[in-house]
């Protein structure tokens, strides 16, 4: 039940219906649009909404459904229901196209996925399609809707005879025309014409007696007559007789086909209505896709929980205006807050909010999907009542206020807990104090009856009532009091200010008038309105803060996730590096073993004394154990001094710290400090110790004896003064460096950075140069390609900043030329 009778016009549903009709392809669908009606049955509403939603999904799929309902066959089926009646060729052809559309649609639903459109498949399953009906029509009609010659044997003979006679007429006419031209009776460019369905020859009026035949017509000037030669008159008469006989045979054929269709008429009418209904459902779905509508969760009990609700007509109006967007509406009506009393400034969107609620709920209960966000819920109401606009009537002697009171009387009489009421400007139209008191009394009774609803007002007593009454809550249309413009957003839980003085001041009313109005309104009222404005301002402020905090929390969560992934990657990389180091240590150990065995063999071959041989082997065994301990302890002890874990007495040596078999001296422990100018360091891939001269932008200048090198801090590890002194003592004897030898053996002097950006290539060049310098490799080659020369320039600029580069230049022309830079290190 809806109230008043003009409900659809008040909420704008009549315009929705007009728009919906444009999406229908046939008159049957448009008739269903015109007959749309409000339903309060949950199962019916649920089924209709589900069908619309399924059709929306099908229209948006890769294989969209197609519904063609251009031809209305109901009148034809009603006509041939009468015995002796028959369908014309055109009617039968249109029916055939209609029936082909039905066949295609049913076939589409038969092959469709049951999970996508169960409701539409269920409806389609109840429609009967008879191939025999289509076969009967196909047997007598061709693809252009013309009766086939093969429709009957008699028709085939008649048409064959007509064609033969027509050929004779043509030959005779051409003969007469040709002779007449030779005799000068007709013009040289004259040709055969048709007059009154007969073939004739145009002849000058002065020569009409020269050709025997019948005159059928005359030109407008009277200078030309059209004669049917006597030679073809009889033949044409025969043709006309045959054409009449052809028509009688066609009628007989059509009557026979109509007789065969008659037993199926009831089912054919049902299928026609089904096709019209699918056209109607497709129209609703097309409109729904345009509006971005969804299927809300439906409930049998009255309630609303809408998120991002949009007024459909506003959405369509703003479609072509890129700078205008509809402000979405969030609304909740439940058992604890059944009625919302919305207040706020004029032109702030209160009436639009009211119409949006009424229109969307009405559309939903007519079987539409509605433009809200996913997750929205909606219940079913048995009645929708609205009081909006001016219903005054001169004929019935009704004022504006009287018309509102009549509507309130109807609301009080027919409202219950399954009713939604929508009242605009509640209590207006009469003296404010009395009108506000009556409105409060009416609202009390409506609340007592358990109705759901939305009410707009400016009355303060109604705002107080909503704040103190269970089941009723305040709502406010937000207003930007800095820009003095409405925001068109609804906030529930608090009343809104009318901003009357602010709007009046913005319009330009004189201050003396506003001051006088403030005095007349009273300080209490002005203070209450001020408090509401300040509350609105504070609420917006804290909402912005809350949104800012939410964004920061989300960003922190993203960073936490990124750091967690980074730590996992680093841990994985660390394990890979340790495993690679262990593998490298094993390879070095195996090489050292071979060298040791060769040394022993040389000792034996030299026939040294047994005692000396034993001591040499003992030293080699000690060396082997030291290499093993370095290989097993990996990168954690790299760069530290390795000694035997115990002294001759079996205790750790004084001033040492034992870690497994590795012992760190006091000097080594003291070196484990922050790298700074004056401290001693080692390169990660070399045992050479150096002295830090200075540090600038994470680049350290390190002195390795007579060589000064600039290196990133990340490539350095702390060392000790003792280590530095040992390496650079003048009397130091050269020692075989097994690790360096192994690295030189596996080092490639060529680096290929072609196709890389400078940001990717320079770190690789830096690492490559560090490795080459650490193993004292004198000449290396960097392959950067020619291209535009940008990468070559970047590489050479970097090389020019390094102190240990003796020179760099292009490779010889036959070895790559300017595409390769040959670098000579200062070893």
> Given this model, what pLDDT does residue 664 score?
41
Residue 552 makes CB contacts below 8 A (sequence gap 6+) with none
Closest CA to 135 of 261, 36, 48: 261
CA-to-CA separations, 480 to 497, 529, 534, in angstroms, rounded:
11, 15, 11
Lowest average pLDDT, out of 63-77, 407-421, 684-698, goes to 684-698
Q: pLDDT tier at 643 (50, 70, 90 boundaries)?
A: very low
> What distance in Å separates the CA atoms of residue 112 and residue 552, rounded to the nearest whole number?
46
Q: What stretch of H or E contains 632?
A: helix 610-633
> Given this model, what pLDDT does residue 726 score?
74
Name which residue leads in pLDDT, 414 or 544.
414
Instruction: Please check the confidence at residue 731 and state whether its pLDDT lies above 60.
Output: no
| Residue 806 DSSP one-character state | E
Residue pair 193/200 in contact by the 8 Å Cβ criterion: yes
Q: Return the exposure string of 655-672: e unless at least 16 CB atoms fall within 10 Å of the residue's CB, then b.
A: ebeeeebbbbbebbeebe
State the architecture of 304-495 in CATH terms. 3-Layer(aba) Sandwich (3.40)
> Given this model, what pLDDT does residue 639 score?
37
Average pLDDT over residues 155-180: 88
Average pLDDT over residues 412-429: 88
> Given this model, what pLDDT does residue 451 score?
94
Instruction: Please check the confidence at residue 435 and state whether its pLDDT lies above 90.
Output: no
Name which residue leads in pLDDT, 519 or 430.
430
| Residue 294 DSSP one-character state | B
Residue pair 720/667 in contact by the 8 Å Cβ criterion: yes
> What distance in Å separates the CA atoms of residue 115 and residue 788, rounded to the nearest whole number?
59
pLDDT in tens, 53-71: 999 999 988 888 888 888 8
What are the beta bridge partners of residue 384? Answer: 2, 420
> Given this model, what pLDDT does residue 514 score?
57
pLDDT in tens, 9-33: 999 999 999 999 999 998 999 999 9
Q: Answer yes or no: CATH 3.30.1370.110 is held by domain 743-825.
A: yes
Instruction: Please check the confidence at residue 360 and state whether its pLDDT lies above 90.
Output: yes
> Given this model, what pLDDT does residue 381 score?
94
> Given this model, what pLDDT does residue 508 score?
63
> Given this model, what pLDDT does residue 427 score?
77
Q: At 216, list the tokens.
A: 């059928």
Lowest average pLDDT, out of 94-98, 104-108, 159-163, 318-322, goes to 318-322
Q: pLDDT tier at 383 (50, 70, 90 boundaries)?
A: very high
Instruction: Please check the confidence at residue 288 and state whether its pLDDT lies above 70.
Output: yes
Topology of domain 151-258, CATH: MutS, DNA mismatch repair protein; Chain A, domain 3 (1.10.1420)
> Given this model, what pLDDT does residue 694 score?
85
Peptide bond into 414 cis (omega under 30): no
CATH topology identical between 8-143+266-295 and 645-735: no
pLDDT in tens, 324-337: 788 888 899 988 88
Instruction: Please check the confidence at residue 282 and state whether its pLDDT lies above 90.
Output: yes
CA atoms within 13 A on the CB side of 217: 13
Average pLDDT over residues 226-234: 86
Helix (H, G, I), strand (E, B) or coil at 287: helix
Residue pair 431/319 in contact by the 8 Å Cβ criterion: no
> What distance in Å separates the CA atoms of residue 114 and residue 58, rounded to the nearest whole number?
12
> What distance in Å separates the CA atoms of residue 581 and residue 76, rounded to the nearest whole number?
91
What string of H, E and C letters represents the secondary structure of 732-764? Answer: CCCCCCHHHHHHHHCCCCEEECCCCCHHHHHHH
Q: Tell the residue number behind the tokens 């509605």, with chain if given.
A: 370
Q: At 180, list the tokens.
A: 């007449």
CA atoms within 13 A on the CB side of 822: 11
Average pLDDT over residues 641-650: 38
> Given this model, what pLDDT does residue 530 score?
56
Centroid of chain to Cα 161: 67
Q: Tell the residue number behind the tokens 């015995």, with chain if given.
A: 83
Residue pair 720/753 in contact by the 8 Å Cβ criterion: no
Average pLDDT over residues 519-526: 54
When the pLDDT of each residue in the chain is averaged and rounded to a whole number, the result is 80
| Residue 219 DSSP one-character state | -
Instruction: Please check the confidence at residue 474 and state whether its pLDDT lies above 50.
Output: yes
> Given this model, what pLDDT does residue 617 score?
61
Phi, psi of 215 (to 5 degrees): -85, 125
> Given this model, what pLDDT does residue 670 score?
41
Residue pair 227/208 in contact by the 8 Å Cβ criterion: yes
The percentage of residues in the chain with a pLDDT greater than 90, rounded to a whole number, is 31
What string of H, E and C letters represents the secondary structure of 406-422? Answer: HHHHHHHHHCCCCEEEE
Instruction: Please check the confidence at residue 91 and state whether its pLDDT lies above 80.
Output: yes
Average pLDDT over residues 639-664: 38
pLDDT in tens, 137-160: 999 999 999 999 999 999 999 999
Average pLDDT over residues 173-195: 82
> Given this model, what pLDDT does residue 602 score?
62
Average pLDDT over residues 203-227: 83
Name which residue leads in pLDDT, 349 or 530.
349
Average pLDDT over residues 549-576: 84
> What distance in Å separates the CA atoms of residue 617 and residue 597, rounded to the nearest whole number?
9
Residue pair 467/495 in contact by the 8 Å Cβ criterion: yes
Q: At 445, list the tokens.
A: 């009774």
Highest mean pLDDT among 121-135, 174-188, 777-791: 121-135
Q: Tell the residue number behind the tokens 């459909």, with chain if given.
A: 312
> Given this model, what pLDDT does residue 347 score?
62
Residue pair 457/341 in contact by the 8 Å Cβ criterion: yes
Q: Tell the residue number behind the tokens 């990717």, with chain if given.
A: 760
State the CB neighbour count (10 A cutoff) for residue 792.
19
> What distance in Å separates the CA atoms of residue 196 and residue 228, rounded to the nearest whole number?
11
Closest CA to 265 of 530, 75, 29, 90: 75
State the CB neighbour count (10 A cutoff) for residue 310.
23
> What distance in Å separates the CA atoms of residue 97 and residue 25, rounded to the nearest whole number?
14
Helices (H), 638-757: 666-671, 721-728, 738-745
Phi, psi of 768 (to 5 degrees): -65, -45
CA atoms within 13 A on the CB side of 311: 23
Name which residue leads in pLDDT, 5 or 491.
5
> Given this model, what pLDDT does residue 663 score?
40
Average pLDDT over residues 88-99: 92
> What distance in Å separates the CA atoms of residue 436 and residue 446, rounded to the nearest whole number?
15
Instruction: Please check the confidence at residue 816 and state whether its pLDDT lies above 60.
Output: yes
> Given this model, what pLDDT does residue 19 score?
93
Average pLDDT over residues 710-728: 80
Residue pair 178/162 in contact by the 8 Å Cβ criterion: no
> What distance in Å separates the CA atoms of residue 62 and residue 9, rounded to the nearest whole number?
38
CA-to-CA separations, 408 to 403, 423, 677, in angstroms, rounded:
9, 9, 90
> Given this model, what pLDDT does residue 239 score?
87
What are the E-state strand segments in 762-819? 779-783, 805-810
Listed by start position, the domains of the chain span: 8-143+266-295, 151-258, 304-495, 645-735, 743-825
State the CB neighbour count (10 A cutoff) for residue 195.
16
Q: What stretch of H or E contains 233?
A: helix 230-261
What class, spelled out in words, does domain 8-143+266-295 have in CATH?
mainly alpha
> Given this model, what pLDDT does residue 668 score?
44
| Residue 327 DSSP one-character state | P
What are the beta bridge partners of residue 780? Answer: 823
Angle 196-199-205 from CA coordinates, rounded to 5° = 85
CA atoms within 13 A on the CB side of 113: 10
Q: Tell the residue number behind the tokens 């061709």, with chain if given.
A: 142
What class, spelled out in words, does domain 645-735 have in CATH?
mainly beta
Instruction: Please check the confidence at residue 108 and state whether its pLDDT lies above 70.
Output: yes
What string of H, E and C letters represents the secondary structure of 441-493? Answer: HHHHHHHHCCCEEEEECCCHHHHHHHHHCCEEEEEEEEEECCCCEEEEEEEEC
Centroid of chain to Cα 379: 28
> What distance in Å separates the CA atoms of residue 583 and residue 739, rounded to the nearest whole number?
13
Closest CA to 343 of 235, 499, 193, 211: 499
CA atoms within 13 A on the CB side of 88: 3
Residue 755 makes CB contacts below 8 A (sequence gap 6+) with 785
């Amino acid at each position: 039940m809806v109230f008043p009778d003009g409900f659809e016009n008040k909420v704008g549903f009549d315009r929705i219906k007009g728009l919906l009709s444009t999406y229908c392809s046939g008159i049957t669908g448009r008739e269903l649009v015109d007959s749309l009606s409000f339903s309060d049955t949950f199962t019916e509403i649920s089924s209709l909404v589900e069908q619309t939603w399924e059709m929306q999904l099908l229209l948006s799929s890769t294989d969209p459904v197609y519904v063609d309902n251009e031809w209305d066959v109901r009148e034809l089926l009603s006509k041939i229901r009468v015995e002796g009646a028959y369908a014309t060729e055109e009617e039968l052809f249109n029916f055939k196209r209609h029936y082909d559309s039905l066949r295609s649609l049913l076939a589409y639903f038969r092959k469709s996925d049951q999970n996508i459109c169960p409701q539409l498949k269920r409806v389609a399953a109840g429609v009967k399609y008879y191939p025999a009906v289509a076969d009967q029509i196909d047997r007598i009609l061709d693809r252009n809707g013309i009766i086939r010659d093969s429709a009957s044997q008699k028709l085939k003979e008649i048409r064959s005879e007509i064609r033969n006679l027509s050929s004779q007429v043509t030959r005779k006419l051409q003969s007469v025309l040709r002779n007449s031209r030779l005799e000068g009776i007709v013009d040289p460019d004259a040709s055969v014409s048709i007059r009154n369905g007969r073939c004739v020859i145009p002849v000058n009026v002065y020569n009409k007696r020269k050709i025997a035949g019948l005159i059928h017509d005359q030109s407008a000037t009277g200078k030309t007559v059209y004669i049917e030669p006597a030679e073809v008159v009889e033949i044409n008469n025969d043709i006309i007789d045959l054409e009449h006989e052809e028509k009688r045979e066609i009628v007989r054929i059509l009557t026979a086909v109509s007789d065969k269709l008659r037993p199926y008429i009831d089912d054919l009418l049902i299928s026609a209505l089904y096709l019209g209904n699918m056209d109607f459902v497709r129209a609703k779905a097309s409109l729904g896709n345009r509006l971005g509508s969804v299927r809300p969760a439906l409930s049998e009990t009255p309630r609303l929980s809408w998120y991002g609700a949009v007024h459909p007509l506003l959405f369509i109006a703003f479609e072509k205006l890129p700078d205008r967007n509809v402000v979405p509406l969030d609304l909740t009506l439940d058992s604890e807050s059944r009625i919302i009393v919305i207040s706020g400034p004029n032109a702030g969107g209160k009436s639009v909010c009211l119409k949006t609620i009424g229109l969307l709920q009405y559309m939903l209960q007519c079987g539409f999907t509605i433009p809200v966000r996913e997750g929205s819920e909606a219940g079913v109401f048995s009645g929708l009542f609205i009081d909006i606009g001016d219903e005054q009537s001169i004929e019935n002697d009704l004022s504006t206020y009287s018309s509102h009171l009549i509507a309130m009387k109807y609301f009080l009489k027919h409202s219950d807990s399954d009713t939604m009421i929508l009242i605009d400007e509640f209590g207006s139209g009469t003296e404010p104090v009395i009108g506000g008191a009556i409105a409060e009394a009416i609202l009390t009774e409506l609340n007592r009856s358990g109705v759901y609803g939305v009410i707009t007002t400016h009355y303060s007593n109604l705002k107080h009532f909503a704040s103190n009454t269970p089941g009723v809550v305040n709502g406010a249309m937000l207003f930007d009091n800095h820009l003095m413009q409405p925001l068109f957003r609804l906030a529930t839980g608090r009343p809104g200010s009318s901003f009357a003085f602010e709007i009046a001041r913005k319009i330009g009313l004189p201050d003396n008038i506003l001051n006088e109005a403030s005095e007349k309104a009273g300080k209490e009222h002005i203070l209450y309105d001020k408090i509401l404005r300040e509350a609105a301002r504070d609420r917006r402020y804290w909402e912005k803060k809350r949104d800012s905090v939410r964004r920061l929390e989300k960003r922190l969560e993203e960073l936490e996730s990124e750091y967690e992934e980074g730590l996992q990657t680093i841990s994985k990389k660390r394990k890979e590096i340790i495993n690679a180091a262990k593998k490298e240590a094993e390879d070095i150990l195996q090489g050292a073993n071979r060298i040791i065995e060769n040394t022993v063999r040389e000792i034996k071959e030299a026939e040294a004394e047994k005692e000396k041989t034993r001591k040499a082997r003992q030293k080699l065994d000690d060396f082997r154990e030291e290499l093993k301990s370095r290989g097993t302890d990996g990168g954690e002890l790299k760069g530290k001094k390795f000694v035997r874990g115990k002294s001759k007495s079996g205790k750790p040596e004084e001033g040492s710290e034992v870690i497994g078999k590795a012992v760190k001296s006091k000097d080594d422990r003291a070196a484990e400090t922050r790298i700074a100018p004056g401290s001693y360091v080692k390169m990660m891939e070399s045992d050479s110790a150096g002295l830090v001269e200075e540090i600038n932008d994470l680049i350290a200048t390190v002195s390795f004896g007579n060589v000064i090198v600039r290196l990133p801090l990340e490539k350095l590890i702390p060392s000790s003064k003792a280590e530095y002194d040992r390496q650079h003592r003048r009397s130091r004897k050269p020692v075989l460096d097994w690790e360096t030898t192994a690295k030189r053996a596996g080092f490639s002097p060529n680096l290929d950075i072609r196709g890389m950006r400078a940001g990717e290539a320079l770190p690789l060049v830096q690492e490559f140069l560090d490795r080459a310098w650490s193993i004292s490799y004198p000449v290396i080659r960097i392959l950067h390609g020619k291209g535009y020369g940008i990468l070559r320039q970047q590489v050479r600029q970097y090389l020019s900043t390094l102190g240990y580069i003796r020179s760099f230049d292009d490779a010889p022309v036959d070895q790559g030329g300017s595409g390769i830079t040959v670098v000579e290190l200062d070893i």
